[in-house]
Structure 1
Amino acid sequence: AERAGIDTGSLAYLGRARTANGEVRTASVWIEEMSLGGITDTDVRVWVNQGELEQSLLGMGYLQRWSSIEIRNGALVLTR
């Protein structure tokens, strides 16, 4: 989240999520623009959590914007 320019110190972590590593606190944030694989979406709601992750996760809310989701030869393939 910080690498994406979100000030995590000013967020209100009011939600909770259960992950494989246990429960984490979450904060909802709207971002103006998000690009992935040449596709740009605007006004995207994202959730920042206080867990210790080395990478970002794509949540179901964002994945539902795609018409097809598959894993092919070890790669996640998203289609619109």
Structure 2
Amino acid sequence: MKELIEYIARSLVDQIDRVEVAQMRAPGGKVRLELRVARDDMGRVIGKNGRVANAMRILLRVAAAREEKQVTLDVIEPR
């Protein structure tokens, strides 16, 4: 699932080398993914009214459901 988010994010951004996805386990068997991209690419990843980010979350939920897991995606503000 981490690879799915990396693939989608790298397809959207200009600065491919700045795409980072961190995976963490949360209590209860849940998985949390954090996506970081360059500041200039944040708009591309989030989209108007968050539509791109929400579409990524939907695809992630579908992939996770196949593996009977629960996954969340957070887009983290760049430093």
TM range (shorter): under 0.3
The one of the two structures with greater contact order (alpha-carbon pairs below 8 A, sep at least 6) is: 2
Higher percent of residues as helix: 2
| TM-score between the two structures when normalised by the length of structure 1 | 0.27
More strand by share: 1
* Structure with the greater alpha carbon radius of gyration: 1
